[in-house]
Amino acid sequence: MIEEGWPSRDLAALVVPLIGGLVETGDRYEPYRVLDESGTAVEPVAAFFCDLLAAGRAESTVRSYGMDLLRWFRFLWAIEIPWDQATRVEARDFSQWMQVAGKQPRPHWRTRRQSGVESSATASGGYAPSVCAHSETVLRAFYDFHQSVGTGPIINPFPLHRSRRGGRANAHHNPMEPFRNERSGLYRPRVPKQDPAQRAG
């Protein structure tokens, strides 16, 4: 059920073109770059990457974050919303789209008739909960960074869970329920715990 006053979006008909890309540059000061459809670097992402590297994050981390950010920007380009005007509505729709129908198998190059798209109408299923959870964490950090330097929206479109917005952690915790992750995002799905025996195998 859509909250009153919140616009609805037809996610079933949404087509997200596979435009832009994440490229390796060979430059140790900017090892990865997210590009838009024209091949131009997405500057808000470049600034975030610079901050990550200055904080000592590994290049592999930058690459991983870049994949999540590219997916988010493709979604925004498809719905024609500037990144700095995204709200909880877009974050909510993106999170649902990822969990339900965001992932689409790429056709073999011999059978590809047109440029690939990530389409809710034809996708075989959503991303794994662990991928969705990682994406939510990355996007919340991305907007936190831009808030801190005054270049992003006033309100982070990926907020913390209501129980994490202020006050003492676990102040209203039900002793019969397990503790929540103290930095859990509102749109972060629960990731099933893997059996240790399965991990060992």
pLDDT in tens, 82-130: 999 999 999 999 999 998 876 655 554 444 444 445 544 444 578 999 9
Q: How far apart are CA 17 and CA 19, in angstroms?
A: 5
Can you give the pLDDT at residue 188? 73
Domain boundaries, the chain: 13-107+115-200
Write the pLDDT tens digit of every residue in 158-177: 998 765 555 444 444 444 44
Task: Determine the distance from the C-alpha atom of residue 18 to the mean position of all C-alpha atoms in its chain, rounded to a whole number.
Answer: 15
Question: Per-residue pLDDT for 19 more than 70?
Answer: yes
Question: Per-residue pLDDT for 195 more than 60?
Answer: no
Q: Which helix (H) or strand (E) holds 15?
A: strand 15-17
**Of 125, 77, 61, nearest in space to 97 by CA:** 125
Q: How confident is the model at residue 134 (pLDDT cuts 50, 70, 90)?
A: very high
* Cβ neighbours for 20, distance < 8 A, ≥ 6 positions apart: 34, 35, 36, 37, 42, 70, 73, 74, 77
